[in-house]
Amino acid sequence: MDRTLSTTINDQAEVPVGHNPDFRRLWAAQSVSLIGSEVTLLAFPLAAALVLKATPVQMGLLAAASQAPFLLFSLPAGAWIDRTSRRPWLILSDLGRTLLLLSVPIAALMHMLSLIQLYVVAFLVGTLTVLFEVAHFAYVPALLSRRQLTDGNSKIQVSYSAATAAGPGLGGLLVQWLTAPFALLFDAVTFLVSAWLLWSIQQPERLPPQVRRRGMLREIQGGLQALLGHQLLRPIIAASSLVNLMTGGIGAVYILYAARDLHLGAGTIGLIATAGGVGRSLARC
């Protein structure tokens, strides 16, 4: 191991995770973008239901467009990002999501917003989110030593719980105040802030040792076999897939039912979602 790299790792081990300025920037970038994403999770279906008068089938298609990238691209993204530096992908993902989300309020302002645009934006934002999530978790070990990873990942999970609890309520208030398309401006700003924080990280990225590559398709196949062949991971994946399928189905029509049949305002819908987020956060504790 390079002497400078060895010294850097030893220095990191002596510094508490919370005092590592570059990890704090990464943590803050993830935290602020998570809150913005929770706003989008509410604003997108509300824009379809209230502004574009989407049918239940169209709401289902919108939910599918946002979730399909996680099924289609998670394994390819992992194989690709494992070969490259992570931070550029994080910054590009944030900037790309900023531009995509800005297109929605601009189209609404010009009275050109359509369901087709929402489908495309939802799919592309989902794709960039997959890239960001994969690169983010792979980037953490570049900033922390091995024995700091548990503490660092725990702090990141706290941000997930906090965003799940607080984000929907904020989203509901923003939608009620600005209308759904313009509430997406908040998420676009959070992605810009995230990109700036990631750009300001000063520590050079430590890439993992490069082993002999077998080709992306073979690596993807190997990763899939490792997941499905593990006696503990296989049932976890099956259960998670079923839960996500059912949750996605409910989410596709819940907003429609709450807004049109129950005539609930966006703020009330956000508070209900916040209650569910608080419950999920407490269940994780």
Residue 12 within any structural domain of the chain: no
Residue 61 within any structural domain of the chain: yes
Residue 2 within any structural domain of the chain: no
Residue 261 within any structural domain of the chain: yes
Residue 3 within any structural domain of the chain: no
Residue 9 within any structural domain of the chain: no
List the beta strands (DSSP E) in 96-187: none
Residue 94 within any structural domain of the chain: yes
Q: Give the count of beta carbons closer than 10 Å to the beta carbon of residue 246.
A: 10
3-state secondary structure of 169: helix
Global pTM value = 0.84
CA dist 90 and 27 (Å) reads 13
Q: Which domain does 34 fall in, by range?
A: 17-204+216-284
Q: Give the count of beta carbons closer than 10 Å to the beta carbon of residue 124.
A: 18
**Most confidently predicted of 27-41, 69-83, 96-110, 222-236:** 96-110
Q: Is the pLDDT of residue 101 over 90?
A: yes
Residue 176 within any structural domain of the chain: yes
Q: Give me the number of domains the chain comprises.
A: 1
Q: Is the pLDDT of residue 282 over 80?
A: no
Mind listing the pLDDT tens digit for each residue in 208-261?
666 555 666 777 777 777 777 778 888 887 887 787 777 777 777 888 888 888
CATH code at 119? Answer: 1.20.1250.20
Place of tokens 């570059």: 22
